[in-house]
Structure 1
């Protein structure tokens, strides 16, 4: 049975703590742009009639709901997340949506996905891969449960490459964001966020990691001057 590392348990506990204010702060701190990023990512998925899509690190279910809204009713969506509190909130949102019959959400870590080999047409993970302690193992697990010809779509924060914009971004991310987050939730959690983004591998390094996990034809797309990046890879 898979066990989280001590670091993984601390990250899990942090997300359990901030779950009640997570959606609200996402909108405030990103000025609502996170919604357009998720829509862009979901447009990159592949699916077939009666197919299945997995959303890893589903959180409160935003991406799972977006997938349901943009796919035929025959497509089913599964969501997993290692935070029990996030999953409970996600289940409530799904139950109150028009897609309750198509989406299931359960507690599980990315490093140990509870589905059989070759189950899904596509897999998404939005703002979650940087929180996976063993990223290579997480990518390998996503590769395992994809069908041959399936696609992974990964949305993650990144560091802008335009010098002036990068300076403004770092000031907001390192100085302003933790303070605002701390007013409504937990300061340490919103201090962790920018630190984890700045420590994340470069785009080329991450695509190399995707290749090591078995993905082919990896590509990336810069969003909003490089604040966020969408990565895709094929099995």
Structure 2
């Protein structure tokens, strides 16, 4: 599922390797492009998603596909956990996150390390909450990634996943498709100097099993009390589940 959509269509590199290379390439421009291309709405989406965890007051958290750390920083502001660990497969993105952690003097709370969701180096039943923003569609094996996150979550713990989805209503669907397939790759290429990264983005969103299909997959690996919250006409969706 989704394994065939890759950034560079390489015959020799796995999807995971290609995604890591792509994010290394665009890491220095990633934050700027995220906010610019989403008109800043991605910041509001992150805040809304993190608020889904307020009721459980998590102390120890894991942020998967942490990238430059924006979702984790939002979690620190809103939830004030004792500890949050971010993992990512791109060292370039983690270097940006490390700089931001140092600038904000948050090293005592937030640390990052190389890793991916399909082989998390943590014990079973370890985290109160797990967050993922715009990362699950890049998983090489989505079911395996969800299973491993389920494994390291404590019983009663909660996962919050924020991911792009496909608007379904006219005329938003048509406008979104035009922007995503025509405008965004052009600007992405211009600013990031990576010809493939922002072509891969709409392709990966198109191929991602959003909505009910993703909720079913969450339930298949064991998550209970699942729900989806569609944001901004369905451009992105928050998915939550408990162990």
- What TM-score does the superposition give when structure 1 sets the normalisation length? 0.94
* Structure 1 position 202, deviation (Å): 3.1
Query: Does the Cα contact within 8 Å between 2:57 and 2:79 map onto a contact in 1?
Result: no
1:183 matched to 2:190: yes
> Match for 1:83 among 79, 86, 90?
90
1:21 aligned onto 2:29? yes
Residue 192 of structure 2 corresponds to residue 192 of structure 1: no
| 2:155 maps to 1:148 | yes
Indicate which of 143, 163, 167 corresponds to 2:174.
167
Q: What is the Cα deviation at residue 71 of structure 1? A: 2.1
Match of 1:70 among 78, 81, 89: 78
Name the counterpart of 1:139.
146
Trace 1:1-235 onto structure 2 (pairs within 5 A).
6-45=14-53, 47-48=56-57, 51-72=59-80, 75-185=82-192, 186-235=194-243
* CA deviation map 1:118-174 (0-9, x unaligned): 111100000000000101011011100100000010000001111211000000000
Which residues of structure 2 form unaligned runs of 5+? Answer: 1-12
**Aligned Cα RMSD in Å?**
1.2
Deviates more, 1:80-89 or 1:63-72: 63-72
Runs of 4+, deviation exceeding 3 Å? 46-49
Query: Where does the alignment leave 5 or more consecutive residues of structure 1 unmatched?
Result: none
Aligned residues: 229
- Distance, in Å, in 2 between the alignment partners of 1:65 and 1:100 is 12
Contact 1:48–1:75 (CA under 8 A) maintained in structure 2: no
**C-alpha contact (below 8 Å) 1:153/1:233 kept by paired residues:** yes
